[in-house]
Amino acid sequence: MARILTGIQSTGPPHLGNLLGAIIPAIKMSKDITNESLFFIADLHSFTTVRDKEVLKKNTYATAAAWLAFGFDTKKNFFYRQSDITQVCELSWYLNCFTPFPMLANAHSFKDKSDRLASVNSGLFTYPVLMAADILLYDADIVPVGKDQVQHLEITRDIAGAFNHVYKDSFVIPSTQIDEKVMIVNGTDGQKMSKSYNNVIDIFLPEKKLRKQIMSIKTDSLGVESPKNPAECTIFNIYSLIASNLKVKELEKKYISGGFGYGHAKQELFELICDKFKKERESFNHLMRNTDLIENELLLGAKKASKIANDVLSRVRSNIGYS
Ligand code: ADP
Ligand code: TRP
């Protein structure tokens, strides 16, 4: 059985791009009976920048609620909060002592972040080492990540290799599974949907606010009567990622025939999202109103995950010569 592990940065409720591009495919993969998935919320990583207790908590809950609402099976798999398993901090120290300083100083993501931020703390600098500890603490075989995280995975493999060279058989060396991201969801301005571009569709919003977001999708200025090109329209693009083939064909016909305005298309997209994600929206809101349900899931997950963490940490401690 392959052990698949990935960390999810908790920066608020996942948007439609996160859902279609990452969460839904990951949940699908976790259903494979030959896999065991460990998904965790990387809230220790968030602490490199977040300084507000309520924001930190709320972001964790919203992220967790989305995964649960979309049906991640926490019984078959592992679902936990990074900060609940403090063993990761201990392992991080051991790995730090095996990490060459220039390897971190040259990491792209550190260079990018340190150029943008007013104050740079050393947590941000050692971010990839904590990430290596996240992975190595659970003997993960496969780590699926986006392209931006590939260098961090290389760092993990390098540190684990160097450690194993001195202390044999301490770690499983994970393989990277690069997510080529065939599906990119566009945002309301037609660019890639991203929190940082302020162009997201948040399907968990109350209907009125969700409708407002959808109504703000940018289009060209063709009037109702003119025939329109579906391939060049953001509304149509998003619609076609969610709707059945039949519905997509129907909408395509309306675009080409004319007499169908962008306002109508937005209304159809709004209704489709409400209908398609009705169950998930309800479940998400129920969980956010009852965060004790989320807490329970995360604590049970932490209990399960800490069994693996304790075994691996004991092995490493004994290899180093600690009791
Ligand atoms: P954001 O750009 O909003 O900050 P993240 O970088 O946190 O999103 O991405 C989290 C996950 O969601 C990653 O796996 C990423 O590839 C995926 N993702 C983010 N935006 C999109 C998008 N517009 N379309 C498809 N997948 C996306
Ligand atoms: N750094 C990752 C990101 O920004 C999140 C993350 C933390 C992670 N620890 C991990 C991903 C371990 C994979 C494995 O998306």
- Give 10: exposed, middle or buried? Use CB within 10 Å, 0-12, 13-18, 19+: buried
pLDDT value, residue 196: 87
* Terminal-to-terminal C-alpha distance of the chain: 31
Dump pLDDT digits (tens) for 287-298: 999 999 999 999
Residue type, 118: A
What residue ranges of the chain have pLDDT lower than 50?
none
**Whole-angstrom Cα distance, residue 151 to residue 157?**
10
Beta carbons of 58 and 98 less than 8 angstroms apart: no
Give the residue whose CA is nearest to atom 16 of ligand 1: 146
Query: Could you tell me if the CB of 131 is within 6 A of ligand 2?
Result: yes
**Which residues line the pocket of ligand 1, CB cutoff 6 A?**
9, 17-18, 21-22, 146, 181, 183-185, 192-196
Residues 6+ apart with CB under 8 A from 105: 125
**Which strands form 175-178's sheet, in the order they lie side by side?**
78-81, 35-41, 2-8, 142-145, 175-178
Question: Is 9 close to ligand 2, i.e. is its CB under 6 Å away?
Answer: yes
**pLDDT digit string (tens) for 81-140?**
999 999 999 999 999 999 999 999 999 999 998 898 888 999 999 999 999 999 999 999
Clarify whether 218 is annotated catalytic: no
Q: Name which residue sits closest to atom 1 of ligand 1, judged by CA.
A: 194
pLDDT at 182: 65
Q: Of the bound ligands, which one is closest to the alpha carbon of residue 5?
A: 2
* Cα distance between residue 193 and residue 15, in whole Å: 8
Instruction: Name the nearest CA neighbour of 137 among 3, 268, 285.
Output: 3
The pLDDT of residue 181: 58
Distance of CA 22 from the midpoint of ligand 1 (Å): 7
Active-site residue 168, yes or no? Answer: no
How distant, in Å, are the alpha carbons of 136, 178, 306 from that of 158? 12, 17, 25
Nearest atom in ligand 2 to 144's CA? 13
d(CA 163, CA 93): 13
pTM above 0.85, yes or no: yes
Q: Which residue type is seen at 268? A: E
Helices (H), 35-177: 43-46, 53-69, 87-96, 101-105, 108-116, 122-125, 127-136, 150-166
Ligand closest to Cα of 25 equals 1
Q: How far apart are CA 177 and CA 145, in angstroms?
A: 6
**pLDDT tens-place string over residues 25-34:** 999 999 999 9
Let me know if 195 is a catalytic residue: yes
Total number of residues shown for the chain? 323
pLDDT at 179: 75
Structure tokens given for 110:
């550190």
Q: Which residues are CB-neighbours of 262 under 8 A, at least 6 positions away?
A: 217, 219, 222, 228, 233, 235
Structural domains in the chain plus CATH codes? 2-184+290-320 (3.40.50.620), 204-276 (1.10.240.10)
Please say whether the beta carbons of 163 and 92 come within 8 A: no
**Residue 242 in contact with residue 196, Cβ under 8 Å?**
no
> CB neighbours of 214 closer than 8 A, spacing ≥ 6?
188, 201, 235, 266, 269, 270, 273
Contact yes or no for 235/217 (Cβ under 8 A): yes
- HSE-CB at 282 with a 13 A cutoff on CA atoms is 5
Rg of the Cα trace of the chain? 22
